[in-house]
Structure 1
Amino acid sequence: MTARGAPDWLTRWEYAHRGLHGPGVPENSLAAARGAIAAGMGIECDIQRSRDDHPMVFHDWELSRLTGEGGLTAQFPADAIEALRLLGTDQRPVGLSAFLAEVAGQVPLLIEIKSMPGYDVERSCAAVAWQLDSYEGAAAAMSFDPRVPEWFAHNAPNVPRGLVGTDTLENGFQGVWRNPEALAQAEADFLAIDVRDLARPEAAAWRAGGRPLLTWTVRSPETRALGLAHADALIAEGGGLA
């Protein structure tokens, strides 16, 4: 397990989950990024990889929910994905390069790299790291897959790295964050834990060791109170519900 300290900025912000989105402002869009910046919030965003290995700021493995188009995100090149419309808006999916240019260091970023068991996630890590190499703002990479922070530990150690955890969401990595071998493999600087699982003793033990504990997704006064009591930073929807 790495003993290095996480950057101070990590716990000084509240983060807008997939940007500050809502009616007319789709998740992971440039408009959602602008909304978070205007609200003084950091931004959590998601990465899927296009067929030609571009990191796209897009949550789903499939295009349909967000664009109305059929097919897997990974089946299309970046320019074809960027040509789509996000449903009901004038916004389009964008690549990480455009997203970084929009944020331009105004607020910090938590970049969640999507993965699943058996997925060649190292290609996604390399694509993200290449773009972050010239980015001057605060940004961290994280994933449910412990191979992601492990990759950054060995190949881009200057990028803060986190392990995302859940015992509730069925995504192929349930409970992995509590496995001591997985934690050692990940060499994570921080954990970001499902708020529904935040009261687990492993989360408290991590935080008691002086390591940052973030929580997602805060969507109600009740989950806000839980997060404020047990975590160091919140990843929230709805403007933080303050």
Structure 2
Amino acid sequence: MADLPDSFLTRPIAHRALHDRSKHRIENSRAAVSAAIAAGYGIEIDLQLSADGEAMVFHDDTLDRLTPETGPVTQRSTAELTRIPLTDGGETIPRFAEILSQVAGRVPLLVEIKDQTGCLGPQTGALEARAAALLGAYQGPVALMSFNPHAVAALARAAPGRPRGLTTCRFTPEDWPGTDQARCDSLTEIADFDRVGACFISHHHTDLETDPVARLTARRVPLLCWTIRSRAEERAARRIAANITFESYSAAIDLAAPAPKS
């Protein structure tokens, strides 16, 4: 299992790339990726699966919020998705392959595999395998993560040489419909960490002072956090987390900043 590269602990990571709708840089867009590269930030992006098995860079399960279209992403073909405009952005939904070519190893790339089951269930594999295939001979710092431990286990099989982690928080059935209380409790405890071969977590920034997080940081497991939206939130998070995923402001880059003590 690969370790998380040090660059993920020193460069702030732009959430869904460095998006700013007022500047026509929509989240997970090529323009947002370009802006993050120019600023020297790491980049976090999200992957969804098209109907014909392509990895698309898009956050939501449905098209409604970010495009003029409606309905599930997974019901549209690659050809359809690549023609759908991003609202206010002047561009269309990108394929993962395009973003890999655009980043080209210049900054760290944190890739979140979005849950394809609707309930954090075990019916995984297609998106993970496609992402792994596209990463192939990709050179440069890259790491993969998911809220769904089954997806991380699938990544372990599809891309055993790539660092992988769990995206974590305080899980509740209200926030994760179809996931019962017992499973939410297990996810909150980050009980799957060793089983899926994770090497880091990215945890919700309001919930960093918990026993499950403390147990992992005591083991020197790298701790990222999401999603920071102000300098005040950043200062609070950095007392515990090694690095932040941020949006809505300009995070300072200090490549010499030490990781917090556990």
C-alpha distance in structure 2 between counterparts of 1:57 and 1:35, whole Å? 16
1:91-170 equivalences under 5 Å are: 91-115=91-115, 116-117=118-119, 118=121, 120-167=123-170, 170=175
Residue aligned with 2:167, SS:
strand
Distance 1:163 1:180, change over 3 A: closer
2:12 maps to 1:14: yes
Q: What does residue 244 of structure 2 align with?
A: 234
Residue aligned with 1:121, SS:
coil
C-alpha distance in structure 1 between counterparts of 2:86 and 2:163, whole Å? 30
Structure 1 runs (4+) greater than 6 angstroms displaced: none
Shift of 1:223: 1.5
1:54-93 equivalences under 5 Å are: 54-93=54-93
C-alpha distance in structure 2 between counterparts of 1:12 and 1:112, whole Å? 19
| Structure 1 length-normalised TM | 0.92
Shift of 1:226: 1.8
Shift of 1:234: 0.6
Contact 1:50 1:76 in 2 (8 A): yes
Gaps of 5+ in 1: none
Distance 1:47 1:181, change over 3 A: same
Structure with higher helix content: 1
Mean alpha-carbon deviation: is it higher for 91-100 or for 216-225? 216-225
Contact 2:128 2:158 in 1 (8 A): no
Q: 1:171 aligns with which of 157, 171, 176?
A: 176
CA RMSD of aligned residues (A): 1.9
Residue aligned with 2:192, SS:
helix
Q: State the number of aligned residues.
A: 240
C-alpha distance in structure 2 between counterparts of 1:135 and 1:197, whole Å? 34
C-alpha distance in structure 1 between counterparts of 2:154 and 2:204, whole Å? 23
Q: Deviations over 1:19-75 (max 9, x none)?
A: 000121100000000010111100000000000010000001100100021111000
Q: 1:206 aligns with which of 188, 203, 216?
A: 216
Residue aligned with 2:125, SS:
helix
C-alpha distance in structure 1 between counterparts of 2:214 and 2:191, whole Å? 18
Residue aligned with 2:217, SS:
helix
Residue aligned with 2:201, SS:
strand
Distance 1:196 1:180, change over 3 A: closer
